[in-house]
Structure formats: C-alpha cells, structure tokens
Copies of this chain bind each other. A is one copy, B any other.
C-alpha cells in the first residue's frame, strides 16, 4: 500500500530540478548544473526531503540510457564522415592527453601504485572521466555565438561527437580490465565481438526498421520499437559482453540515426527523458553526493582535477589542430571548445561509484569541473571569436 509514497519524491524531484535549472540558466550556467544542485539541496546533504533508494536509482539508470540513446539518434553519420579524418585525430589527442593527465594526477598524489593494482585502476578511471567532451554544452555555446557552421565550429562539433565514442570505448576497455576473471585479450575480444555483432545486426535492424518506417511513418510503433531496441541492446551489452549498458543504448541510437523517423523517435524519447527520467538522473547525483568523505586532500585533489582536465584538453586538441595546420588562434578555439564536460563525465563517475571503484566524494570534483567548464567556455569562446572571427561565416 505504500507505493504512493514515491509520488511525493517524484513531485519534489521534477519540480525542484526544473526550478533550479531555470535559475541556473538565468545565471548563464547550463540547466544540468541546476538539476544537480537541486539534488544537493533536497537530499540528505541539506534538507533531507528525499533520500536515494532502489526505485530512484533504477529510474535514474533508465534516465541515463534515454540520454545516451538520444545522443546516438542525433548523430549525423554523413557529417561525421565528411569532417571525419581531422576531427578523428583531434578527438584521439583530446582523449589520450586527458586520460594520461588524469592517471598521472592520481598516481602523483598516491605514491605511484604499480599497474594492475587497485590504485592504478582508480587512476585510469579518473582519466576516463576526463575524456568525454559535453557535446550539448559546446554546441549550444557555438550556436549562440553564431559560429557553429564555420570550419572551426564544425570541427569542434565532429571531434566532440567522436570523442564521446572513443571515450566510451576507452571506458568499456577500462571497465573490462576490472573483472578479475578476464584477461586483456578477452576484454578486447569481447569489445570487438560486440562491435562486429552490433555492426552486422545493426545493418539488418536498420534495413528492417526502414521498411517498417516506410510503411507506418509517424506512428507510435516506431518510437516504441526504437525504445525496445535501446533497452535490449543496453541489457545485452552489459549481460553478454561486459560492456557498459550506456554503450549499448548509444549504439542502438546510431543504428537508427539514419532512418527517416530518427528525429521523430528522438523527440518522443526526449519528452520521456526531460519530463521524468533525466531529472531523476541528475537530481539523483546530487542526492548521492556525500561530502562527509571530503577532507583537505580531497579538496586539493578536486582543484588539481579541474585544472588537469581543462589544460589537458586544450593541449591535446590544440596541438593536434596545429599539426593539422589550423591558424594559431583557431587551435586555441578548438582546444577551449572541447573543454566542456557534462553528462558523460557524470555517467562515468556514477558507473565507478556503482562498481565500487570510486566513492561518492569524487562527485565533488566532477561537479566542480562541470560548473567551471560550462561557465567559462562560452565566455572564453566569445573573447576568442571577438579577436579572430571565422572568415567563412557571413
């Protein structure tokens, strides 16, 4: 008879999340920041109105999966192929340098644990958190400035999308390392097998869905079948390949991103996401944030974490852009544009928390990174473009 008690929690979560998101946007910060703050406020840390629990955490899991499915659906494969080669190089450097930087930071602060130990693994994980650029925040910042369609803007966009994929592959690889029963070869093998099966199965599913879509365009069955595929692939990825369920959701989105109703599916899924599930995910992070473990060394780590995450992206992406013969200031623009971190960093941290690799005090560092990067990047880009506007635009 107590099932109605969750209704109160849901109401508090979605209303406080929306309120804080609006407030955040008024302060020129992304809405996501507001939603996390809402969780900090209503959770055990402050008001203690809502406590994290099994139901909330399962709803949050669905929330992340919907976000990643949506990101997959919004992938523009053609665009990706066109601006591909250079963006791929920039993305690779933009993953490799922060990964190394994060690992090095952790090792420096913890007396260089040897490869294979838990400490080393934790360091790798910290590196993983730093890899993925937040496509959403970057795109919004560039669009507001009016430079999204220029060469630099397009390169940033493509690289940000690609580094999500690479970041997730790296994460999958690192996660696989954790399993004591598996050796590295097995992890690589399983990851490759997943990609091969996804590719082969994906082509078949894509063709089938195209047929269904041609026959029943804009009907409810299209998004429902899409969502079903997303859930199945998320489950299968985790259950049979030891790959993160969010990877499965992302791949499901990519499989469907070229059918005619991809946008239609995305709209329906997004409504489910923003009305209920995504706020639960972001608020849930705030709910789970635990500052009892934060001491001076953790604070020191957080500051170092933010600095390394920001600087390593600029160095990695900027240098690679220079090698690809971009103008000096454009190199800096690309590096700065790639600095934003968002959902994916949180998702990876959450994964680490669920696996027991990290404790919840690490959220502090990640939340700090998201706030600092998403507030500073739009401002920095504005200054850089004022100094050296993109000649092709207008």
Q: Please, how many angstroms separate the alpha-carbon atoms of A245 and B7 in the complex? A: 9
**At the interface, is chain A mostly helix, strand, loop or mixed?**
helix
Encoded as 1 (CB less than 8 Å from any B CB) or 0, chain A from 5 to 20 comes to 1111011001100100
Q: Please, how many angstroms separate the alpha-carbon atoms of A3 and B355 in the complex? A: 12
Given B14, B227, B245, which contacts A227 in the complex, CB threshold below 8 Å? B14
B-side contacts of A221, CB under 8 Å: 18, 22
The reply to whether B272 and A272 contact each other, CB–CB distance below 8 Å, is yes
B-side contacts of A225, CB under 8 Å: 15, 18
Given B18, B58, B272, which contacts A271 in the complex, CB threshold below 8 Å? B272
Given contacts A268-B271, A271-B268, contact A227 B276 (CB under 8 A): yes
B-side contacts of A275, CB under 8 Å: 220, 223-224, 227, 268-269, 272
Residues in A224-241 with C-beta less than 8 Å from chain B = 224-225, 227-229, 231-232, 234-235, 238-239
B-side contacts of A6, CB under 8 Å: 58, 61-62
Whether, in the assembled complex, A57 has its beta carbon less than 8 Å from a beta carbon of chain B, the answer is yes
Given contacts A268-B275, A272-B272, contact A61 B245 (CB under 8 A): no
Residues in A41-55 with C-beta less than 8 Å from chain B = 54-55
B-side contacts of A229, CB under 8 Å: 11
Residues in A254-284 with C-beta less than 8 Å from chain B = 268-269, 271-272, 274-276
Among residues of B, the one whose C-beta sits closest to the C-beta of A271 is: B271
The reply to whether A228 and B355 contact each other, CB–CB distance below 8 Å, is no
Given B7, B18, B239, B276, which contacts A4 in the complex, CB threshold below 8 Å? B239
What is the CB-to-nearest-CB distance from A175 to chain B, in angstroms, rounded to a whole number?
11
B-side contacts of A14, CB under 8 Å: 224, 227-228, 231
What is the CB-to-nearest-CB distance from A359 to chain B, in angstroms, rounded to a whole number?
16
The reply to whether B272 and A4 contact each other, CB–CB distance below 8 Å, is no
Encoded as 1 (CB less than 8 Å from any B CB) or 0, chain A from 197 to 236 comes to 0000000000000000000000011011101110110110
* 23 A–B pairs (Cβ distance < 8 Å), ordered by A: A6-B61, A6-B62, A7-B65, A7-B235, A7-B245, A8-B231, A8-B232, A10-B231, A11-B232, A11-B235, A14-B227, A15-B228, A18-B220, A18-B221, A18-B225, A22-B221, A55-B55, A220-B275, A224-B274, A268-B271, A271-B271, A271-B272, A272-B272
Chain A: residues with CB nearer than 8 A to chain B? 1, 3-8, 10-11, 14-15, 18, 22, 54-55, 57-58, 61-62, 65, 220-221, 223-225, 227-229, 231-232, 234-235, 238-239, 245, 268-269, 271-272, 274-276, 354-355
* Pairs A-B, 5 closest by C-beta atoms: A11-B231, A15-B228, A7-B235, A8-B235, A7-B231
